[in-house]
Structure 1
Amino acid sequence: MKFKLLTLIVLLTTISINATILNDSLALKKDSISHWTKANKVRLIFTQNSFVNWSAGGNNSIAGIVKINISKNYKNNHTTWFNELKTNYGLNKEEKRELRKTEDLLEVNSTFGYRQNTNSNWYYSAKFNFKTQYTNGYKYPNTDKPISKFFAPAYLFLGVGTEYAVKESNFKLYLSPVTNKTTFVFNQRLADEGAFGVKKASYDTDGNLISEGEKTKIEFGMLATGEWKSEVMKNIQMANKLILYSDYLNNYGNIDIDWEINFDLTINKYVTANVGSHFLFDDDVKHKEDVNNDGTLDILGPKIQIKQVLGVGFIYNF
């Protein structure tokens, strides 16, 4: 395991060095004839702790996250079309403990907008969003029974509405009164549990299966999305994104919250530091915990989910 981890670190470092050597172009390239722009970014973030005869104690650990963001956008006087692919994956290895996942995301975004008046910042818009994960998720240290898998869950948002966009202040506000949210749980065991809000399996009084859990859940509701980017201080960029969703048919007024805020600290052209927080609340995602210490995860109520990241790494724009 140590050899594999060392090989992975060497490989990622080699990729970063080669990217640095090859990067002699701008991060943002524009074709003024076709009205297309593209901005592609690869980031490697590392954290490491090492102890030798440290009286206070501690375990050696190393962690790494790969973040890739690829976007291609179209804009003319009346039409905009924003397309983005985001993918993140992170691992942590601590002494005397198994390799653990810290980050796992595959996300695709596409927003099409049209405005009749070129002086207006309001667009008629249609938005598409899809996200899932690559590998199994576990309630560590239990690695025998995954609590999430590829396409379990996966989320699809598709809706129409209006978007207010101000390029000068890097601000966007999207409002949709009609948005479809589809939840996929393509794992029968998790679907039978009713994980992530799908209808769970039903059993008779003797515990015999009557009907399997459903693998999809379709909702219609309203969606609001706000994005704001700003240079809060020299070489410190803030990216703030808030997503709010409420279903019309199932407990209307109960709001799913997805709020992410990141600060990128530019050290030089190739080295950066990142400080970020991610807050989630989804009434359909139930917290799992082994309450009775019997080795079985009990399904409890929904809870606020919080993730924080602090790291230094390499960045490659192309």
Structure 2
Amino acid sequence: MKRLITLILVMGISAIGYSQSDQAIDSLQGWRTSGKISLLINQSAFSNWQAGGDNSFAGNLKVNYNFNYTKDVWSLDNKLLLGYGLTNTEDDGTRKSDDRIELNSILSRAMKKEYWNFSFFMNFKTQFTDGYDYEDDFLDQNPGEDNENYPTSGLFKPAYWQFGPGFLWKKSDRFYVNIAPITSKLTFLTSEIWTYNDDDSSNVFYESSNDVETFGVDPGDNLLYELGMNIRVGYTFTLAKNITVENLIMLYSNYLEDPQNIDIDYTLDIEMKINDWLSTDFTVQTIYDDNSFEGFQVREVFGLGFNLNL
């Protein structure tokens, strides 16, 4: 297990190294790189405002970077997605608004049929820091306790790693579909986290991952293995002048348990460019994974972006 985690960390650090040294990559024949770093800012302030309001400030840092390689019939496509955001309000203090680490890679070999390739893909996802559940019921019924004593997630808590062979249909870097009918998916927890439980309204509490199933991982375990099918689609297009829309969707069905319950991870990112340095960015991400929550999880971020194009 430790060797597996070390391997994934090395892969992630290598990817970050690539994103910070794109000049070296571009000097190598066959490499194509593109991407940007964006800082999104939201702010509101009130003074003697009779209608009411809560002063707030939010910042989100995003990295979206592609580094792809092609030689003869072989291609290696990589996408690194990083995001971290904080929101501060007078009433609630500072809380996270975004936290994402994701690396996608597809190694492919061209077939004789146009646009089709044999492929092998890898996807890795986790987050940077601990997350918490801020349900008011817990504090009301457990005076003196603090939600932040009970992290519900964190770095490698959980982490997801998927990989497998398949077929890639790729018209361009902006439009592709990868189908992997034999995909291994590993979910791991490196330490104890907590699950919010309000089944009994008179006894609202947190349960440890050592005692109950958490993110599909059995109580006390740190690893869940699944075998299924993964489908990944990427589609980027220009909606109008200076407006770019990027769609990323990943579907997964577990053959070993409830294959009809398809995991969904969809991200819509719209950039409305003002100039080379400024843009308005709108991002919506929705996730369905019944191992973590029986319903749709939705995240939305909108703000003015300060951009550094790579």
Q: TM-score range by the shorter chain?
A: 0.7 to 0.9
Q: Give unmatched runs, 5+ long, in structure 2.
A: 1-21, 136-146, 193-207
Q: TM-score, normalised by structure 2?
A: 0.80
- How far apart are 1:191 and its partner, in Å? 4.5
TM-superposed CA distance for 1:53, in Å, is 1.5
**1:28 to 1:281, Cα distance in 2 relative to 1, 3 A:** farther
CA RMSD of aligned residues (A): 1.9
Paired AA for residue 133 in structure 1: Q
Q: Distance in 1 between matches of 2:118 and 2:89?
A: 50
Which residue number corresponds to residue 126 of structure 1?
120
Secondary structure of 2:295's aligned partner: coil
What SS does the aligned partner of 2:211 have? helix
**Counterparts of 1:171 and 1:78 in 2: how far apart (Å)?**
18
Pair member with larger Rg: 1
Match of 1:228 among 225, 230, 235: 235
How far apart in 1 are the matches of 2:50 and 2:23? 49
* CA deviation string 1:127-167 (max 9, x = no partner): 01111111110012622211112111100001110010111
Give the counterpart of 2:90 among 81, 92, 95.
Answer: 95
Asked if residue 242 in structure 1 is aligned to residue 252 in structure 2, the reply is: no
Cα separation, 1, equivalents of 2:96 and 2:279? 22
Aligned to 2:187: 183
The structural deviation recorded for 1:40 is 3.8
- How much identity, in percent, do the aligned residues show? 34
Deviation at 1:307, TM superposition (A): 1.0
How does 1:283-302 map onto structure 2 within 5 Å? 283-286=290-293, 302=294
TM-score w.r.t. the length of structure 1 is 0.78
Residues of 2 paired with 1:259 and 1:159: CA distance? 20
Shift of 1:84: 2.7
Aligned counterpart, 1:34: 29
Distance across 2 between alignment mates of 1:235 and 1:116: 35
Local SS of the residue matching 1:52: coil
What SS does structure 1 have at the residue aligned with 2:133? Answer: coil
| 1:149 aligns to 2:144 (yes or no) | no
Any conservation in 1 of the 2:41–2:305 contact (CA below 8 Å)? yes
SS at match of 1:143: helix
Tell me: CA distance 1:33–1:285, structure 2 relative to 1, closer, same or farther (3 Å).
closer
Partner of 2:142: none
Please list, as runs of the form range in 1=range in 2, the aligned pairs for 1:41-56 lying within 5 A after superposition. 41-56=36-51
Measure, in 1, the Cα distance between the counterparts of 2:151 and 2:181. Answer: 36
Distance 1:43 1:265 in 2: 13
What is the distance in 1 between the residues matched to 2:271 and 2:171? 22
Displacement after TM superposition at 1:108 (Å): 1.6
Q: Is the 2:111–2:118 Cα contact (8 Å) retained in structure 1?
A: no
Structure 1 residues 33, 90: CA separation in 2 closer, same or farther (over 3 Å shift)?
closer
- State the SS of the aligned residue for 1:305: strand
Q: Distance in 2 between matches of 1:160 and 1:191?
A: 34
Question: How far 1:255 sits from its partner (Å)?
Answer: 0.4
The one-letter code of the counterpart of 2:156 is F
Count of residue pairs the alignment pairs up: 263
C-alpha contact 1:152 1:185 (8 A) present in aligned 2: yes
Contact 1:185 1:191 in 2 (8 A): no
Structure-2 residue corresponding to 1:162:
167
CA-to-aligned-CA distance 1:17-41 (integer Å, 9 cap, x gap): xxxxxxxxxx999858611122242
**Structure 1 residues without counterparts, runs of 5 or longer:** 1-26, 201-212, 287-301
Check whether the contact 2:283–2:300 (CA below 8 A) recurs between aligned residues.
yes
The answer to whether 1:197 aligns with 2:216 is yes
Matches within 5 A, 1:197-216: 197-200=216-219, 213-216=220-223
Any conservation in 1 of the 2:39–2:62 contact (CA below 8 Å)?
yes
1:209-266 residue CA offsets vs partner (Å, 9 max, x unmatched) = xxxx211100000011111100011111000111110000111221011111111000
- Mark the CA change 1:307 to 1:123 in structure 2 (over 3 Å): closer, same or farther: same
Matched, 1:311 2:306: no
Q: What is residue 62 of structure 2 aligned with on the other side?
A: 67
* Alignment of structure 1 residues 129-140 onto 2, 5 Å: 129-140=123-134
Following the alignment from structure 1 to structure 2, what is the Cα–Cα distance between the partners of residues 152 and 106?
12
CA distance in 2, matches of 1:191, 1:182: 18
Q: Which of 251, 258, 262 lines up with 1:255 in the alignment?
A: 262
Q: Conserved in 2, the CA contact under 8 Å of 1:257 and 1:280?
A: yes
Aligned letter for 2:134? Answer: Y
